Amino acid sequence: MMRTAVEISLYPLDADFIPAVKGFIERLNAYPELQITTNAMSTQIAGEHVRLFEILGMETAASFSEAGRKVFVMKVLGGSAP
């Protein structure tokens, strides 16, 4: 099993950006297989590579389906130790 870590930031292009960011983080926290650390600028997510990107695919799509345009910025660290 390969573990991967992702640092992700969500930038809603809307003056009322807090609900979109909070909703995204809350949805990520619903997955017990992920390790989540959130700070003022980004969220760090670690987990098994395939599952991590499966979840990110679903949850970024859910964010994009909401009203307003959004930008995600990610950094990916592959092959991290378990």
At 24-73, the pLDDT tens digits run 999 999 999 999 999 999 999 999 999 999 999 999 999 999 989 999 99
Written as six digits, the tokens of 81 are: 């130790």
Q: Give the CA distances from residue 63 to residues 13, 21, 68, 70, in Å, rounded to whole numbers and listed in that order.
A: 12, 9, 9, 8
Assess whether pLDDT exceeds 60 at residue 80. no
Separation between Cα atoms, residue 47 and residue 25, nearest integer Å: 15
Q: Give just the sign of the alpha carbon dihedral 72, 57, 43, 26.
A: positive
